[in-house]
């Protein structure tokens, strides 16, 4: 299996939002294998399966997907991808994430919005199309993992054209905090909401995009580069 790359939003290290994500997922995205045992300002509810709840999102690191994981297309390089993202971010402006909060979606518990800022799907659509040339076509196994039969016609078209179904008009900004299998753990969502209120006092801002890298499917994604909006690239 070859390397995969992704373009994510991940908050600044040691910001309130980053510390919250690391606390919940028990992992920082700068290291593939190290689990942390954070101090909990709000006690976790009695539950034997916290590790199961966070196993899948922790594998990807605390993030919001802007361009979903992909293998590099033939003839493209990681260095070119990184340089292009640096230039892309230089021409972007920060987006306030007012209203971000833990909610239960149809597929997971996540930081998300009841009504997301309009600038977010615009940014994501620009990123998806701009960096499409770097993406190798999906394998049939990857297509099957997305269960095309469960998607609507538009989502299947997005999957075929861009390798991911939840983009453009179907894009919903979210930072996943649980796997889909355990959404009925009401105590977990209650804990997330209380913990978030206790830890995140500033209004979060999307002010950067990051490259995450995965050398193989069994290894967790690691953040390798980040570029702040409006900053001159220093590669």
> If phi over 0 gives left and psi between -120 and 50 gives alpha, with beta otherwise, what is residue 180?
alpha
CA distance 11 to 19: 9
Token pair, residue 230, equals 């409006």
Chain-centre distance of CA 155, in angstroms?
Answer: 19
Domain boundaries, the chain: 4-228
Token pair, residue 186, equals 């009401």
Closest CA to 4 of 141, 128, 138, 121: 138
Closest CA to 110 of 29, 21, 201: 21
CA dihedral (60, 62, 67, 73) positive or negative: negative
Closest CA to 109 of 40, 179, 7, 158: 179
Token pair, residue 166, equals 């939840």
Place of tokens 């954070």: 38
- pLDDT tens-digit map of 162-182: 999 999 999 999 999 998 655
Q: Are the C-beta atoms of 66 and 168 separated by less than 8 Å? A: no
> Which residues does residue 211 pair with via DSSP β-bridges, in sequence order?
7, 225
Burial class from Cβ neighbours inside 10 Å (0-12, 13-18, 19+) for residue 123 reads buried
Closest CA to 68 of 179, 142, 157: 142
Q: Provide, rounded to the nearest whole percent, the portion of the chain with pLDDT above 90.
A: 77
- pLDDT tens-digit map of 4-31: 999 999 999 999 999 999 999 999 998 8
- Give residues with Cβ within 8 angstroms of 216, minimum separation 6: 1, 3
| Mean of all residue pLDDT scores within the chain | 91
Residue 127 phi/psi, 5-degree rounding, is -70, -45
Confidence of residue 183 (pLDDT cuts 50, 70, 90): low
CA distance 1 to 181: 26
CA distance 228 to 33: 26
**CATH code linked to domain 4-228:** 3.90.1140.10
Token pair, residue 99, equals 């209203």
- pLDDT tens-digit map of 46-69: 666 788 889 899 999 999 999 999
């Amino acid at each position: 299996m070859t390397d995969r790359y992704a373009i994510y939003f991940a908050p600044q290290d040691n910001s309130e939002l980053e510390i919250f994500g690391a606390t919940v997922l028990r992992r920082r995205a700068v290291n593939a294998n190290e689990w942390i045992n954070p101090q909990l300002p709000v006690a976790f509810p009695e539950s034997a399966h916290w590790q199961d709840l966070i196993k899948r999102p922790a594998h990807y690191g605390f993030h919001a997907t802007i361009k979903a994981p992909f293998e590099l297309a033939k003839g493209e390089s990681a260095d070119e991808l990184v340089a292009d993202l640096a230039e892309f971010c230089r021409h972007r402006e920060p987006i306030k994430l007012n209203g971000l909060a833990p909610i239960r979606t149809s597929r997971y518990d996540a930081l998300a919005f009841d009504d997301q800022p309009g600038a977010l799907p615009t940014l994501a659509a620009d990123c998806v199309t701009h960096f499409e040339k770097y993406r190798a076509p999906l394998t049939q196994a990857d297509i099957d993992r997305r269960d095309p039969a469960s998607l609507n016609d538009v989502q299947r078209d997005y999957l075929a054209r861009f390798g991911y179904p939840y983009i453009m008009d179907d894009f919903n900004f979210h930072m996943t905090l649980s796997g889909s299998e355990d959404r009925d753990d009401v105590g977990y969502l209650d804990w997330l909401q209380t913990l978030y209120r206790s830890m995140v006092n500033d209004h979060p801002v999307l002010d950067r995009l990051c490259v995450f890298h995965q050398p193989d499917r069994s290894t967790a994604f690691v953040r390798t580069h980040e570029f702040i909006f409006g900053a001159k690239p220093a590669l």
